[in-house]
Amino acid sequence: MAALEHPLKAEIDAVRAAILASDKTITERIKWKAPSFVHAGDDRVTFRLAPKGIFQLIFHRGAKVKDTTGFKFEDDSGLLEWLAADRAVVTLQDAKDVKAKKAALVKLVGRWMKATAT
């Protein structure tokens, strides 16, 4: 992260810090050259830092495809754009967008971690 050149680097750092501070069971590692949040040993939410004008958080259930039978996740935040039955993305456009969505995003990450832990 120290070498990251991105116009929203301060916002990326703020989102990372807020998520890590929200739950001590969430850890972080690098996946796809970006921060990835880990719960119960699996990557669950991973940053996508390209293209440079935005950043995204990819919500997934780990590196390997898992059976989606019976998997449901209710997005009460309205932030998720579903890419598959168990994979979604949140897009953050700029500093104003991050400020408006950060609290809901942190709660969403926590809920996702719990829902995908099994």
Find the CATH number of the domain harbouring 79: 3.90.1150
For residue 45, pLDDT over 80 is answered with yes
**Average pLDDT value for residue range 49-74:** 86
DSSP, collapsed to helix, strand or coil, labels residue 62 as coil
69 occurs within a structural domain: no
Q: Please report the pLDDT score of residue 118 as a whole number.
A: 66
17 occurs within a structural domain: yes
For the record, the structure tokens of 38 come out as: 């880990």
Peptide bond into 51 cis (omega under 30): yes
Return the number of other C-beta atoms located less than 10 Å from residue 61's C-beta: 23
**Average pLDDT value for residue range 31-58:** 90
Return the number of other C-beta atoms located less than 10 Å from residue 40's C-beta: 12
Nearest Cα residue to 108 out of 85, 82, 77: 77
* pTM for the predicted model, two decimal places: 0.91
92 occurs within a structural domain: yes
Q: List all residues 6 or more positions away from 100 whose beta carbon is below 8 Å from its beta carbon.
A: none
1 occurs within a structural domain: no
**Average pLDDT value for residue range 47-60:** 91
**Average pLDDT value for residue range 41-61:** 91
3 occurs within a structural domain: no
85 occurs within a structural domain: yes
Nearest Cα residue to 55 out of 2, 104, 14: 14
Furthest-apart CA atoms within the chain: distance in Å: 41
Number of domains in the chain: 1
**Average pLDDT value for residue range 68-92:** 92
**Average pLDDT value for residue range 86-115:** 95
Range of the structural domain that residue 45 is part of: 8-64+74-116
